[in-house]
Amino acid sequence: MSPDRPLKLLDIGCGEGRNSVFFARNGYDVTAFDLSKAGVEKTRRLADKIGVKINVFKADVNDFRLEEEFDILFSTGVLHYIPSELRKEILENYKKYTSPNGIHMFSVFVNKPFIEPAPEKEVYAQKWISGELFTYYHDWKVEFCTEEIFDCMSSGIPHKHATNRILTRRV
């Protein structure tokens, strides 16, 4: 059944806007932010080119806090920029401002002792502990969660990453 209004979706760390634009094209009411001014501008340009409306702005995930409700929070490849000591507070804020029956869809990079660090060093990034993300959702309905290891060729050197993904619902 289609919702009776466009669902409000927040893309946290939207990069150049590929996912935000996909969601907007599919009828979601999309808000997005990223630390990178260039990423924000590219997202705006892509949205204009495709002919969709996105409310996109520059913000740091570590400073940004929700003050209005969203139906869906989405983030991929970004939440490792949140240092471990801020994660509880930020995820509690996200949970508080998620509408009843709303969902979070997140994927985070995780450390596995048998995977070598990636060649491109990111000073501010802090990978999650494997399984850590799931612990914040013990009181929500976890619809889906996985751990995946995949090959990556960024920087031209073959290496691997591990991710945890979760799709979880406020009931």
- Binding residues for ligand SAM, per CB under 6 A? 13-15, 18-19, 34-36, 39, 60-62, 76-78, 81
Whole-number Å distance between alpha carbons of 157 and 61: 29
* Residue 89 vs 141, nearer CB to ligand SAM: 89
- For 156, residues 6+ apart whose C-beta sits below 8 A from its C-beta are none
- Residue 79 DSSP one-character state: G
* Residue 98 vs 163, nearer CB to ligand SAM: 163
Query: Residue number with the shortest CB distance to ligand SAM?
Result: 15
CB of 124 to ligand SAM, least distance (A): 7
CB of 137 to ligand SAM, least distance (A): 20
Distance of CA 108 to the CA centre of its chain: 8
- Burial class from Cβ neighbours inside 10 Å (0-12, 13-18, 19+) for residue 103 reads buried
* Residue 69 vs 120, nearer CB to ligand SAM: 120
Whole-number Å distance between alpha carbons of 79 and 128: 9
Whole-number Å distance between alpha carbons of 14 and 21: 10
CB of 33 to ligand SAM, least distance (A): 7
CB of 135 to ligand SAM, least distance (A): 22
* Residue 8 vs 42, nearer CB to ligand SAM: 42
